[in-house]
């Protein structure tokens, strides 16, 4: 398992591996964000679809509607995936940040 691998690493090696993983994840996220933007631009350019931007209130309703689904599948697919989905649905913000934004 990954936990066994991680725990089997020498103490002085773990920080180096962790730093490398952080860099790899950041790089992968940057590529994914660029590809997502390019795909969105291609969809818009095709003229076959309409992109609908949600208002903060609409986005909040979406978040509320998805909560039962997230709860249902959290054990099956992992809380980290659920957290990533939540962040995506909230435009990269936590629910607390979105709620604070709406109040201000």
**Structural domain containing residue 17:** 1-51
Please check whether residues 34 and 72 belong to one and the same domain: no
pLDDT at 76 over 80: yes
Say how many C-beta atoms besides its own lie within 10 A of residue 89's C-beta. 19
Please check whether residues 69 and 93 belong to one and the same domain: yes
Residue 23: what pLDDT? 93
Residue 12: pLDDT band (50, 70, 90) is very high
Please check whether residues 59 and 36 belong to one and the same domain: no
Nearest-angstrom CA–CA distance, 10 and 33: 34
Query: Tokens 């979406």 correspond to what residue?
Result: 62
- Are 82 and 70 in contact by the 8 Å Cβ rule? The answer is yes
Please check whether residues 84 and 72 belong to one and the same domain: yes
User: Any idea what the Cα angle at residue 31 is, between residues 101 and 77, rounded to 5°?
Assistant: 70
Enter the DSSP assignment of 55: P
Please check whether residues 70 and 97 belong to one and the same domain: yes
Question: What's the whole-model pTM score?
Answer: 0.50
């Amino acid at each position: 398992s990954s936990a066994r691998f991680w725990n089997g690493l020498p103490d002085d090696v773990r920080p180096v591996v962790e730093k490398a993983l952080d860099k790899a994840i950041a790089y992968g996220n940057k590529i994914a964000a660029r590809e997502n933007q390019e795909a969105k631009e291609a969809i818009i350019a095709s003229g076959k679809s309409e992109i609908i931007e949600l208002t903060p209130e609409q986005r909040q309703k979406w978040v509320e509607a998805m909560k039962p689904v997230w709860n249902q599948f959290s054990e099956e697919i992992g809380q980290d995936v659920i957290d990533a989905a939540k962040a995506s649905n909230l435009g990269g913000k936590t629910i607390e940040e979105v709620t604070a934004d709406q109040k201000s």
